[in-house]
Structures are given as structure tokens and as C-alpha cells.
Amino acid sequence: MVKEIFAKTILNKHKRRDEWFLDDYSLNPYQLCDFNCVYCYIRGSKYGENMKQGLAAKINAPTLLEKGLLRRVKRKEYGFIALSSATEPWMHIEEEYKLTRKCLEVIARFKFPLHCLTKSTLILRDIDLLKEIDENAILPKDLEKLKHGTLITFSFSTLDEKIAKIFEPNAPKPKERLETLQKIKEVGFYAGIAYIPVLPFISDSDEQLKK
């Protein structure tokens, strides 16, 4: 069951840029995630005590984001927004709520660059907005060499579908993610994978890493 909640804030400004994903901001339109990955670090937080009961849609996220980005634009504080750092932005309930798509519309309007962190095939629905952001976003001066306003990273913990079914029970199959990544690349996005987390003694053999 999905709760509908009103968030107090939605755009989080980091004290310093993330060295891995290059984001200065993070945005999470949902609370928790219906992919229900066993290894998710959120399980160790106060929100993860009851994953099923805690799943929520922040229905005022687009409105809050618009207000937050307007303030940042006035200060010319452009930087990459990570979507999302603590949930899957294109999980199954996004098909109904469309909060991620509505947030993408706001991001495109204010011309902020974006880093999409996902396991979902649903991202293909929003290629139009992601392409608009990719072409028009204003990059921070020191990242202009990227020449892309949209970065897309698909995460994997294994390519073995039997293992994935155990550790990522509701996420798209690894093969489906790879096929989606291929389509994303064909469109011309700057995209790749994050092999995170590597599961000790489960998905970390030399053969698995090579594959």
C-alpha cells in the first residue's frame, strides 16, 4: 500500500559535490522503494524498519522542486541533481503517480543538469524530457567538458538472473536493464553501469567480474 505524503523539503544540497556521481543536489520523489532490494542501505535507517508500510509518494514534490530551483537559479547555483539517491525514481508506482516525470519537467524548465541512477526500464518513457535536459542544461564551469546535461547510470549487483531474483526481487531482470541501457546509448546519452554492490562470495568471482 502506498501512502501519499506532503514533504517539507525535496531538493537536498550537498556540502560538497559527490566524487562518484558528480551531483551537487539530490532529489527523491518517493520514500523507500518497491523494488525491495535486500542489500539496500536504506534498510539500516529509520525509514527501513518496515519497508512495506513505509512506501510513500511525495505528492507535492514537483511544487517543492520548482520553488527550490527558482531560488538556486537566482543565485546561479547550477549543479547536477542526482535522481535518486535513496529510492528508485522509475519504480512501478511511478506509472501511476508520474512524480518523476513531473519533476523532470521542472528540471528541464530551469535547465539544471541531471544524473539518473536507476534499475528501471520505465526510464524509456521519459526520453523526450531527458533529451531536452541533455541538450539545454547549464553545466557548472568545471564540468562543461562533459558536454552532456543528462548522465544515466544503471546499477547491477549481478548478471545472474537467479541471484538477482533473490537480492533484487522486484527489479527488472539484468538482461532487461542491459537492453534498456543499449537503447539509451543509441539515442546518444552519456550512460553506463555501476556494479554496485558487488556481493562478496556471490557475484565477485573473476569470471563474473569479467562477464
**pLDDT tens-digit map of 178-194:** 999 999 999 999 999 99
Cell of 183: 537503447
pLDDT over 90 percentage in the chain: 91
What percent of the chain stands above pLDDT 70?
Answer: 96
pTM confidence score: 0.94
**Average pLDDT over all residues of the chain:** 95
pLDDT of residue 1: 83
pLDDT tens digit string along 102-142?
999 999 999 999 999 999 999 999 999 999 999 999 999 99
Please tell me the predicted confidence (pLDDT) of residue 128. 98
Give the pLDDT confidence score for residue 205 in this predicted structure.
96
Return the C-alpha cell found at 123.
526510464
Return the pLDDT at 51: 63
- Pairing status of strand 11-13 against strand 80-83: unpaired
Q: Please, are residues 114 and 130 in contact by the beta-carbon 8 Å criterion?
A: yes
What digits encode the pLDDT tens for the residues 84-112?
989 999 999 999 999 999 999 999 999 99
CA–CA distances in Å: residue 70 to residues 11, 75, 99, 150, 161: 11, 9, 19, 20, 43
Instruction: Answer yes or no: is pLDDT of 17 > 90.
Output: yes
Instruction: Map residue 2 onto helix, strand or coil.
Output: coil
Q: Please list the alpha-helical segments (H only) found in the chain.
A: 51-54, 61-74, 94-97, 99-110, 127-136, 161-167, 174-187, 206-210
Q: Which domains does the chain have, with CATH numbers?
A: 3-210 (3.20.20.70)
Per-residue pLDDT tens for 18-69? Answer: 999 999 999 999 999 999 999 998 777 666 566 667 899 999 999 999 999 9
Q: Specify whether the CB–CB gap between 173 and 164 falls below 8 A.
A: yes
Q: pLDDT value at position 44?
A: 72
Residue 97 sits at the vertex; the CA angle it makes with 153 and 166, to the nearest 5 degrees, is 50
